[in-house]
A and B are shown apart, each in its own frame.
Chain A
Amino acid sequence: MKAVYPIPLRPASHYRPLGNLALFLLFINLGLGTSCRSSRILEFEPVHPDVLQTFLDTSEICPEGYSLIEIPNFLRAMGMQENPGFITNTSELEAMSRFGGTDPFLVVYGTGNTICLMVNGIFFEDHSRIEPFLRDLEMRRRLRIAVYEKPRLDGTWIMICAINPTRTYSEAELTAIREGLERQQKNLKSRLRFNRLWENPH
């Protein structure tokens, strides 16, 4: 089944300044762009609308001391109605669609206004598109991520659990995150593909 996007997914170049227009747009927007910063959340009909509730009810990933946090500016920028929510930011939708991924969702955990852990889920209908995506992720050495795979009958969910690559986490936090990930892996019966959460931050 194909994903239904009320927002037409156009080629990547659609939202990008094209070749000889680049300079023109750049300078025009230097003057005008900052005054047009209103943002809106686009309509989006995910193929798997139930996945967020299932994730919340089943995974029990939330590390001790953290909670789901609402940072309005961040959620708006990602085009999310709430946390957790589906991402409708078209730049991110395009990026994922280029890899063959759909229905990207995001779950944000932290304390106060500090984001400490995020889970980004992406659905792949075509299993053969997963490996190139994972290879690309693995090459991004800066990121502190653990990637899990959850096969389904109609495709596969990839879940990327990410911590802040430049923040120093306390031992208690790291333990809580580790336990949360273990619960998630056990409860969702997901398979760990690789884990670079514990490498030294750059």
Chain B
Amino acid sequence: MKRFLDWWANPWGQPRTLAVVTWLYMLWAIVPVCIAVLFSFNDGRSRSVWQGFSTRWYWGDPDQSVLHDPALRGALEQTLKLAGLAMLIAVPLGVGLAIGLTRWRGFGARPVNFLMLFPLVTPEIVMAVSLLLVFVSLYKIQLGTTAQALGQVTFSISYVVLVVRGRLLSVGRQYEEAARDLGASTLGALRLVLLPLLAPAIFASLMVVFALSVDDFVVTDYLSSNSSTQTVPIKIYSSVRGTTTPALNALATVMVVATLVAVTFAALVYRRFNKLQQGGGGAVSELAALEA
């Protein structure tokens, strides 16, 4: 007992209370998700009472499993399709914007810089409503995949700019100047030196856009047309309170696993980039810095 009290009160040790709070938080944040994943393997129809292990909700059930229910499978496909489109469009636009805004010091740079920050602080419902209204009443764009992709790109661009600009500022202008000094033209310096140096940030922003896209609910929901353009989050939202089967958990689990695999892969690649260029530096803390 005395040893325990000494350990607890050691002024040079870690503050025990904080450590306990932190670990409890971690458990609280992650265990519920793990339980939800567990119930996706439930043999029965309940999402709260364990009835044995089975993979029926993934592929076993001929009608209601993720693999065989067209609504669930469609949601998965639509989610990935939108994520692909968003990455493909938002990343080049954002990279261009980041490079342009850091290098361009003239009239117009300031307002665009300011405008770029707004999507980050606008509540999603405000953005969703405004996009819905403008598509319906001004641009006459059919709701559905196109509208959803346009919406997702709009809120993703700013994140790409933040990630890429952070890297640009830390890289500085010296490498470009060195390239110019050694005979490369402005565009040559950009292609041969700046883009390779930005590669980790571009890669990271692809991941960020992927995560934003597959997680997005509000904008995607407002701009969806009918059940054929429902994504996984929409599907969860619309059926979670009804009488539903663990197939919903299975659907969500597939998404979680897909995201985690992509992110782990990304972290490994990112670390490799960094090793080559800066001699290490934790990929994890880098990614943490990115999110913040």
Bound pair (A, B): no
